[in-house]
């Protein structure tokens, strides 16, 4: 059963477009080649542009966990973390009703 992963990030003011977007695009390009990846979307709060939300969809939680352990992903994620004010929050959701 497919799951959705919600990643919440607070980007340091003024750095979002210039520095974060290329990393997000790079991360998404890598994820597209991972088994179980279905889709991804990155959103920013219209009232607080530094508050970003990534929603990705995976076929199984095992597929997601394999992606989390991917070395290329980890390297990009470390670069993203240098642009944030707080540690990113990860939340995994599965459908309540199949």
Q: pTM, whole model, 2 decimals? A: 0.89
Domain borders along the chain are 3-93
Q: Is 72 exposed, middle or buried (0-12, 13-18, 19+ CB in 10 A)?
A: middle
pLDDT at 16: 65
Question: What is the CATH code of the structural domain delimited by 3-93?
Answer: 3.30.70.100
Mean pLDDT in consecutive groups of 10 residues from the start of the chain, 98 residues: 95 75 93 97 90 96 97 95 91 91
Alpha helices (H) in the chain, listed in sequence order = 21-31, 61-68, 71-81
């Amino acid at each position: 059963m497919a799951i959705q992963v919600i990643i919440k990030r607070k980007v340091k003011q003024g750095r979002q477009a210039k520095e974060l977007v290329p990393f997000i695009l790079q991360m998404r390009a890598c994820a597209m080649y991972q088994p179980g990846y279905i889709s991804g979307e990155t959103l920013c709060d219209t009232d607080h542009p530094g508050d970003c939300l990534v929603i990705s969809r995976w076929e199984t939680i095992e597929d997601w966990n394999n992606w989390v352990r991917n070395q290329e992903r980890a390297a990009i994620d470390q670069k993203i973390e240098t642009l944030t004010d707080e540690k990113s929050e990860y939340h995994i959701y599965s459908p309540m009703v199949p």
